[in-house]
C-alpha cells in the first residue's frame, strides 16, 4: 500500500461525461494516485456520489466549476475530458503552472494546426502546446510519452484502426493507396450530450438499428492518416466509414488492407505476434480466434486478428476495444502509468466484464 503522502494528486476536468465517469471509476481505485478535484460546467456544486450513484462510498468530492487556475492548485496531473476545442483554453494555464496534462479530447492529437481548420472548423489557439504534445498511443509512442508533460490520448476509432493495421504498415507489407476501414461504435462513443441530444442516439432510433454517419468526413480519419503515414514513411489516406450500433460501449474495426506481397494467414499472424510481443494490452488472436467487443468491455485491452484473402490480395484486419477503455479513459491511465514509471497495468489489471 502506497502512503497517501506519496501518491500523485490527480484531477479530472469534464467529470460529468462518459469519459469522465470512466476515468473516475479507474482513478478512485488506482493505488498510486489520490483524486483531488473534479469539474463540470453543467453540474457544478453537485456531490459526485449523487451524480454517479455507482461511485457512492468511494469519494466525498463535489463537482467544481471549470477553472484551470484552481485545477493547477489542487492537482499534479490533470485529465481533461472536455468537449473538443475546449482543452486548448485550459492547457496553457496548467502548463504555465508546471502541471502535467493528459487530454482525452482531440485538441492536441493533430500535429498540423491547419488540420483543425479542416476537420474541426476552427483555428487552434495554442500552437506552442500543439508542438509539444505527444500522441498518447503507448504501442507506438511509449518512449515519447514517458518524457512528455502534455499527452493527447487518441480518438476511439483511430485507436482501433491504428492497432488493427500498424504491423502491416510499419513492416512495409501494405500497399498504401486503398486502405478501407469500417468502424462500429456503441452509443457512448458520442459522449454524454446533456440537453442537446442528436435524435440518432435516442433509444428508439439506436435500438435494433445500424446507422452509418459522418460519411467521408469523420474527424478521427485525420489521426489515422497522420499516424499511419508516420509508420509508413509515406503519405497514407484511409477511406473510413463509422457506424452506430446498439451497444452501450464497445468498438469494432474491420480494415481491408491491400498487400504488397503474397502472404498467408499464418505469415500475417506471425507478423502481428512479433509486432505486439510484450505489449500488456494487445492480445493477438490465433487463426481460429476472432475478437469481439464482449471480450474487452470494461478494460484497456485491444484484441486483434488478421486473415489473408488470396482472392483479392488483401488482408482483413479486425480489432475490438472498449471505446471508453483503450479508446479513451483506460488508455489515458496507461499513459499516466508510463509518465511516472509505474507498471503499465497498475490500476488496469481487472479482467474485462463478462457477460
What is the set of active-site residues?
156
Nearest partner of 251 among 205, 313, 297, 314, judged by Cα: 297
Nearest partner of 103 among 154, 67, 56, judged by Cα: 154
Whether a cis peptide bond, with omega within 30° of 0, leads into 156 is: no
Element (H, E) at 282: strand 282-284
Q: Which residues contact 15 (CB under 8 A, 6 or more apart)?
A: 21, 23, 24, 38, 39, 40, 48, 63, 81
* Beta carbons of 299 and 331 less than 8 angstroms apart: no
Rounded CA separation 35/269 (Å): 41
Rounded CA separation 192/285 (Å): 33
Across the strands, what pairs with 34? Answer: 9
Amino acid at each position: 500500500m502506497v502512503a497517501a503522502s506519496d501518491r500523485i494528486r490527480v484531477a479530472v476536468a469534464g467529470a460529468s461525461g462518459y469519459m469522465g465517469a470512466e476515468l473516475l471509476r479507474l482513478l478512485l481505485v488506482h493505488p498510486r494516485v489520490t483524486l483531488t478535484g473534479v469539474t463540470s460546467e453543467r453540474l457544478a456544486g453537485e456531490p459526485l456520489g449523487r451524480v454517479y450513484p455507482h461511485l457512492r462510498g468511494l469519494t466525498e468530492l463535489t463537482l467544481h466549476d471549470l477553472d484551470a487556475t484552481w485545477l493547477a492548485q489542487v492537482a499534479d496531473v490533470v485529465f481533461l475530458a472536455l468537449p473538443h476545442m475546449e482543452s486548448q483554453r485550459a492547457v496553457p494555464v496548467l502548463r504555465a503552472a508546471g502541471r502535467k496534462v493528459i487530454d482525452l479530447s482531440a485538441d492536441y492529437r493533430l500535429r498540423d494546426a491547419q488540420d483543425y481548420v479542416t476537420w474541426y472548423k476552427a483555428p487552434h489557439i495554442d500552437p506552442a502546446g500543439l508542438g509539444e504534445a505527444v500522441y498518447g498511443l503507448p504501442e507506438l509512442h511509449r518512449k515519447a510519452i514517458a518524457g512528455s508533460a502534455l499527452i493527447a490520448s487518441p480518438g476511439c476509432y483511430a485507436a482501433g484502426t491504428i492497432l488493427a493495421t500498424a504491423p502491416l504498415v510499419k513492416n512495409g507489407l501494405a500497399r498504401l493507396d486503398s486502405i478501407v476501414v469500417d468502424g462500429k461504435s456503441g452509443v457512448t462513443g458520442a459522449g454524454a450530450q446533456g440537453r442537446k441530444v442528436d435524435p440518432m442516439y435516442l433509444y428508439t432510433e439506436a435500438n435494433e438499428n445500424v446507422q452509418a454517419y459522418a460519411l467521408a468526413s469523420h474527424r478521427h480519419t485525420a489521426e489515422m492518416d497522420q499516424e499511419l503515414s508516420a509508420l509508413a514513411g509515406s503519405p497514407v489516406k484511409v477511406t473510413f466509414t463509422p457506424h452506430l450500433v446498439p451497444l452501450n460501449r464497445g468498438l469494432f474495426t474491420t480494415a481491408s488492407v491491400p498487400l504488397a506481397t503474397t502472404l498467408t494467414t499464418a505469415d500475417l499472424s506471425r507478423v502481428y505476434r512479433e509486432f505486439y510481443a510484450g505489449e500488456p494490452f494487445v492480445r493477438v488472436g490465433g487463426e481460429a480466434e476472432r475478437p469481439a467487443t464482449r471480450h474487452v468491455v470494461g478494460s484497456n485491452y485491444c484484441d486483434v486478428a488478421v486473415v489473408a484473402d488470396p482472392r483479392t490480395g488483401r488482408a482483413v484486419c479486425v480489432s475490438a476495444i472498449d471505446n471508453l477503455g483503450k479508446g479513451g479513459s483506460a488508455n489515458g491511465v496507461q499513459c499516466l502509468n508510463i509518465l511516472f514509471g509505474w507498471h503499465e497495468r497498475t490500476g488496469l489489471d481487472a479482467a474485462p466484464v463478462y457477460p
